[in-house]
Structure 1
């Protein structure tokens, strides 16, 4: 191989001799941008805005292509045959990873639970929806030890059904089949989860810096203090937003108690906070813990420091499997997972109430597992025994975790346990519904669910239910009539745009919540959010248009307020483009419905309230404390990510909203035009004006003033959410396109496409199950 550094080497001043022939053409210890190449861009500039995250998990990574219709493919599956195949696999133990008790059911329940259990209500990220358990960092969390084995066992099933069955659906369905195999009646199953195809590099999992290769147990992790405020037991004790797990690399809490300290009451407080952050109340929390621990066992037969690295950093020859165990065959009776050893019940592969019965029938004392982890054993030596998972004739004392004892000592949890002890049927139903919620929480509206087992009742509040339309839909002629009626109200274009956008922007693709469908902008809590105050009189004006249309329309037609709000925004954009000299028709797809206050979960929707919204230049009063750790522009990027916007879409949409006067308080920040309400490229022209010199107006550097260099005359003001499109090189490159002489027509077209995309983000009733190409221009 010819050395491309020949000339450079002649300048060396040391006496090292090089063998030039056959030398590698790459200097140093790295090749291009491959793994191990350091330093990287991230290490050089750790504070840079990572706009490239908007293009993660894109079409280029997807082997199925843009036209693949998962709903159509899934419909070809005979679900009964698929479930039979899974059930056969669950009871067919293989030598390379023998099944505990001859039944893979318990470990598959854990796999499905941990796939779904990453969900968090604060930003909707995590959950089972995209099969992220297959990728870093989740795949290599200590708490997910040996879930790689469960997925590898399922590989023959995945290969048989191919692209018609996503990994995400397969993992959840396998958990259901496992429960049913062991006598538990599940509440139903909805398919429709679309797989991701690359690691998640966007989600924030916590402030801790930790070394996965050296994490050998729960209590070997770095301190968790950075993600918590207050002390366990204090009134202000809580997790940093948007986190849900008590520690980096955990799914819920440390089963040995906070800091592995064996404190059941402290564990109960952690449990309540983490499960509530995952949208579960006390009854659902107890049902999930007690129900899940009715099956299987925990594994801690081998000291943690003997276990090899997780999958993401395992040796090449491991072929994607991690946590190599050197003891014996590395499995069966020598299995090591979380370090705690033993089973909760005498019959770990049958659904019964013995977990709760034994938890309350006996006193427990602290002991340690062979791996050194803290656990609990009945003080009564005559207590029930549980069979060994692999050695016939051997038995063991029951095991409880600190997080189990927590259910006994916390008064509220204890009351739920006693209710379930007194009524096994009530417990069964509660666990069934909680499991269904756990595994479907991030899927969005029920009409996204696929398959013959979607027979669950309507109106489950956590599904953000929408009523069926009770009137005939409006047609093209009605749309034109309504456009004229909207313009006749005299409501300014700027207010119509702001209101429509405010209805749609709460959407987040992470768990498919929010959006304009349902008309919740007119309901609590959204109507009362500070950022939405400007929408109140507009909603009232549109109610008048709706009332007049509904009264006059023939054939039982009515227009929903949800549709009318969006249509009003669309006609406003058309007017604004026309005023800029560009004729355009903004797409409008009717069919939205209005939900009710009774079908709106106030607490859950309050999590959608923005602390900051760069699109509307809004910052909550509590923002300064948060901005010390997370910049406004980073929060803006995060929101663009949740809206699935690309960098060009983000840029075009923001520039258009600025000149259309869509700031929440009608301020002039970023409104760099004297033609407010006209869809011009003035924002980009002002942004790239080299005659302007910008300076911060406050010590925090959150607002700025742009002055003419030569005269010092103040021209514009802006926020970080404005200037980022000029300071970030990727965004500025896009802004240059729109600021150019030929940018106006392109900008209007791009803005309209981005606008329509946002208005349609929650319209899964018409978009189907295609990941790409769902938004027509």
Structure 2
């Protein structure tokens, strides 16, 4: 959720200011889960035979946190800090904290019997609000300033419930706040009245290689997450902390490439974000031309640039990848395999199996591997947008041998001559039956143009994934 300590404390305290926990019963008496329940239960699981008598059973904890659990007040902090607490068991057998001593009038009224008062409770998370020195200081501040607590909770709640909606430009309705908040990943509006062909020509003459240009565009766009609509190329945050220092982005090489592109963006008075994507597009067009296919990639102008002040460094650190299958990079820090991380990455990018396949093959042919490693570059003409990756991967004249962790060699089946090296990510497109079917499709002699067109379609999709104003 990318909440700081103050937001975490406000959400915990605010959430426990109203309502109660439900554990006044024996959870062993609950019915089966929805999928296993009787047909007459109509999809409602965990049927509770003692519901009317004792109320629901969920967490197993039982009780309210405050004297008035239906009222928004500062009662949570009064209850927490004005009492000593001891561990006791709920009726359902869960451990919970209850006051050592408490006045009868300070107890909350029983939810089912207005003539009965019960002990309030606290969870381990609540006790941390009191015992942890950092959270203790925050909560005492809330206790002494109820208006500040209410405002902090309101802001944290708004963040919690809108975190996955993407930038503010996607909000609609009369209740949309006018204030721009840093967690919304704000981006300034960029120019769109310029000649993109002039910019591309300048980039092509800059000395940056096809690999340099493809890499910078890909690294800028690959952070997009379909889950919460964060990341992406808009804003050019690749040039800012923390992204510019991520090992997966090759900081030294990135800095050199960005210095060239920044000069060009300044010359034309356009955003660095647009310039980065134009660099990638120009490289793909050149690589396609070298394959004998002349075309122009679609391009939407108008991206803006974010500043360091507009970027929540701690929050963006959560977007740092542990691997990038499309550049054949694996940090080794994850317990998941490179192939599994490829699927995770593709899911966040919203890619289908055919899109994953053609993108991998295209990126390998363009020579966009991390730090120039040759693993998976199954071609003798890197930088040409060809289907060689698939041709050589599926060629039965070749034999694969494992030579180390995530390292394989491809040798001529007859002579034993070493041809190329590859990773497990590369080989999965030959070993997995579904992925192999797509690999064989793109390996066909009569599908070279289809391969290029399909690659461009996926490339454009990723470069524009965060252009919500155009969707």
Q: TM-score scaled to structure 2, two decimals?
A: 0.96
Q: Which residue of 1 aligns with 2:346?
A: 640
Q: Which residue of 2 aligns with 1:300?
A: 23
Are positions 1:369 and 2:90 aligned together? yes
Are positions 1:354 and 2:75 aligned together? yes
Are positions 1:765 and 2:469 aligned together? yes
Q: Alignment partner of 1:645: what SS?
A: coil
Say if 1:506 and 1:350 are closer, same or farther in 2 by CA, change over 3 A.
same
Q: Alignment partner of 1:313: what SS?
A: coil
Whether the 8 Å contact between 1:466 and 1:518 is mirrored in structure 2 is yes
Provide the rounded CA distance (Å) in 1 between the counterparts of 2:258 and 2:124.
Answer: 52
Q: Alignment partner of 2:370: what SS?
A: coil
Q: Alignment partner of 1:581: what SS?
A: coil
Q: How does 1:204-243 map to 2 (within 5 A)?
A: none
Q: Which residue of 2 aligns with 1:20?
A: none
Q: Alignment partner of 2:419: what SS?
A: strand
| CA positional deviation for 1:456 | 4.4
Provide the rounded CA distance (Å) in 1 between the counterparts of 2:127 and 2:209.
Answer: 61
Aligned-residue Cα RMSD (Å) equals 1.5
Q: Which residue of 1 aligns with 2:422?
A: 718
Q: Alignment partner of 2:223: what SS?
A: coil
Provide the rounded CA distance (Å) in 2 between the counterparts of 1:334 and 1:609.
Answer: 45
Provide the rounded CA distance (Å) in 1 between the counterparts of 2:206 and 2:87.
Answer: 72
Q: Which residue of 2 aligns with 1:746?
A: 450
Q: Alignment partner of 1:377: what SS?
A: strand
Whether the 8 Å contact between 1:333 and 1:389 is mirrored in structure 2 is no
Provide the rounded CA distance (Å) in 1 between the counterparts of 2:98 and 2:237.
Answer: 51
Q: Which residue of 2 aligns with 1:728?
A: 432
Are positions 1:528 and 2:245 aligned together? yes
Q: Alignment partner of 1:567: what SS?
A: helix
Provide the rounded CA distance (Å) in 1 between the counterparts of 2:111 and 2:410.
Answer: 71
| CA positional deviation for 1:524 | 1.5
Are positions 1:588 and 2:294 aligned together? no
The answer for unaligned runs of 5 or more in structure 2 is none
- CA deviation profile, 1:116-147 (whole Å, cap 9, x unmatched): xxxxxxxxxxxxxxxxxxxxxxxxxxxxxxxx
- CA deviation profile, 1:342-374 (whole Å, cap 9, x unmatched): 111222111100111011111223222222222
Provide the rounded CA distance (Å) in 2 between the counterparts of 1:539 and 1:365.
Answer: 59
| CA positional deviation for 1:410 | 1.4
Provide the rounded CA distance (Å) in 2 between the counterparts of 1:366 and 1:538.
Answer: 60
Q: How does 1:350-499 map to 2 (within 5 A)?
A: 350-383=71-104, 384-458=106-180, 460-469=181-190, 472-475=191-194, 478-499=195-216
Whether the 8 Å contact between 1:333 and 1:391 is mirrored in structure 2 is no
Q: How does 1:527-546 map to 2 (within 5 A)?
A: 527-533=244-250, 534-546=253-265
The answer for unaligned runs of 5 or more in structure 1 is 1-277, 551-558, 768-777
Q: Which residue of 2 aligns with 1:682?
A: 388
Q: How many aligned positions are there?
A: 468
Q: Alignment partner of 2:310: what SS?
A: coil
Say if 1:547 and 1:417 are closer, same or farther in 2 by CA, change over 3 A.
closer
| CA positional deviation for 1:409 | 1.5
Q: TM-score scaled to structure 1, two decimals?
A: 0.59
- CA deviation profile, 1:635-676 (whole Å, cap 9, x unmatched): 111111111111111111110111111001112211111221
Provide the rounded CA distance (Å) in 2 between the counterparts of 1:593 and 1:312.
Answer: 49
Q: Alignment partner of 2:309: what SS?
A: coil
Q: How does 1:30-45 map to 2 (within 5 A)?
A: none
Whether the 8 Å contact between 1:299 and 1:340 is mirrored in structure 2 is yes
Q: Which residue of 2 aligns with 1:694?
A: 400
- CA deviation profile, 1:563-590 (whole Å, cap 9, x unmatched): 0110111121111111111122211111
Provide the rounded CA distance (Å) in 1 between the counterparts of 2:124 and 2:290.
Answer: 67
| CA positional deviation for 1:333 | 3.5
Are positions 1:285 and 2:8 aligned together? yes
- CA deviation profile, 1:16-52 (whole Å, cap 9, x unmatched): xxxxxxxxxxxxxxxxxxxxxxxxxxxxxxxxxxxxx
Whether the 8 Å contact between 2:55 and 2:112 is mirrored in structure 1 is no
Say if 1:716 and 1:298 are closer, same or farther in 2 by CA, change over 3 A.
same
Q: Alignment partner of 1:308: what SS?
A: coil
Q: Which residue of 1 aligns with 2:62?
A: 341
Q: How does 1:66-215 map to 2 (within 5 A)?
A: none
Provide the rounded CA distance (Å) in 1 between the counterparts of 2:407 and 2:297.
Answer: 33
Provide the rounded CA distance (Å) in 2 between the counterparts of 1:375 and 1:491.
Answer: 63
Provide the rounded CA distance (Å) in 1 between the counterparts of 2:146 and 2:371.
Answer: 55
| CA positional deviation for 1:332 | 6.3
| CA positional deviation for 1:535 | 2.6
Runs (4+) of structure 1 moved beyond 6 Å? none
Q: Which residue of 1 aligns with 2:267?
A: 548
Which of 275, 288, 292 aligns to 1:577? It is: 288
Are positions 1:615 and 2:319 aligned together? no
